Amino acid sequence: MTEPSEQKRHQAQLLEVAVALSINGISQAVMMASPKHLKDFALGFSLSEGLISSRNDVLDIVVHAHECGWQVDLLVLARVQHQLKQRRRTMAGPSGCGLCGLDSIKAAMSLNLPQEKKVVNACKIPTEQVIMQAKDALPAIVKSSGGIRGNHCAAFFDLSANMLAFREDVGRHSALDKLIGCLSHKKQSMNEGFALITSRCSHDLIAKAARLSFSTLVTLAQPTDLAVSSARKTQLTLFCFQYGQLKRYA
């Protein structure tokens, strides 16, 4: 039997495994992620990377454990396979990377947005007071959810700072993908509230959020210049904390 002290140390470790994603039996990506909520991860990744366009494209998600990691198989509608043929991507990237495997610089920089992006109504933008309430509530949310210190967290709040969904992962991109998958499974509209991520903000996070029509993204560290530019191009409202101060960048 594991000693209590050893068990506690084991539980506190950040877990990272290889996760292989296939769609209709065709390999799409291999990513490093935490081995939890893998159905959410697979769905969110497929949506945020444009592999599928809707939760309704998916018929089933099956997770298999392997000695070297995990395999997640998405069974999708036959018409979706044509979309996949237009996108050549075979990924083997670390958990901190959201662009590994893209076959050109142009593809990496493309925001790949839906043709019709919803216009954000000003009344759907959270106030700074609401954002601060959500930020202050996050530690208790992490604790109650059994989160591990050191993981990146992604949470979705309504405009009254009520938490509607929470996911975490060793990688910030994977944390956002898991949140997207969770919201999609719940059929929660992503432009009626805001996402809060405990990381810096980069271009690829903006691209993922914009593709799913989030109205507002909040990160706990400052953004890159490209992230700000991308947020403005996509009309995504962007708030970030810089030296502890909340600032609106887009």
Written as one letter, the residue type at 42 is: A
Give the pLDDT means over successive 10-residue stretches in the chain (250 positions). Answer: 44 86 92 96 96 94 94 93 63 50 56 51 81 96 83 97 97 97 96 95 95 96 95 95 94
Q: How far is CA 111 from CA 149, 154, 206, in A?
A: 32, 21, 9
Q: State the Cα angle at 25 between 64 and 55, rounded to 5°.
A: 80
CATH class for the region spanning 11-109: alpha beta
CATH superfamily, domain 122-248, is Cytidine Deaminase, domain 2 (3.40.140.10)
Non-local (6+) Cβ contacts of 50 within 8 A are 83, 87, 112, 211
Give the pLDDT score at 98: 52
Non-local (6+) Cβ contacts of 208 within 8 A are 48, 49, 98, 173, 176, 177, 180
Of 232, 214, 22, give the one whose Cα is nearest residue 114.
214
Give the pLDDT score at 115: 44
| CA 27/CA 45 separation, integer angstroms | 14
Residues facing 70 on adjacent strands: 19, 65
| CA 98/CA 91 separation, integer angstroms | 10
Written as one letter, the residue type at 218 is: V
Give the pLDDT score at 5: 46
Of 190, 223, 185, 221, give the one whose Cα is nearest residue 204.
223
| CA 60/CA 77 separation, integer angstroms | 10
| Contacts by residues 197-201 (CB-CB < 8 Å, ≥ 24 positions apart) | 197/152, 197/153, 197/154, 197/172, 198/138, 198/152, 198/153, 198/154, 198/172, 199/152, 199/172, 199/175, 200/172, 200/224, 200/240, 201/227, 201/238, 201/240
Residues facing 166 on adjacent strands: 155
Q: How far is CA 70 from CA 11, 42, 178, in A?
A: 19, 11, 15
Would you kindly state where each structural domain of the chain is located, as residue ranges? 11-109, 122-248
Which residues are marked as active site? Answer: 97
* Whether the Cβ atoms of residue 237 and residue 119 lie closer than 8 Å to each other: no
Angle between helices 203-211 and 38-48 (to 10 degrees): 90
Give the pLDDT score at 145: 81
Helix/strand number for the chain, H first, E second: 8, 11
Give the pLDDT score at 9: 42
Residues facing 155 on adjacent strands: 166, 196
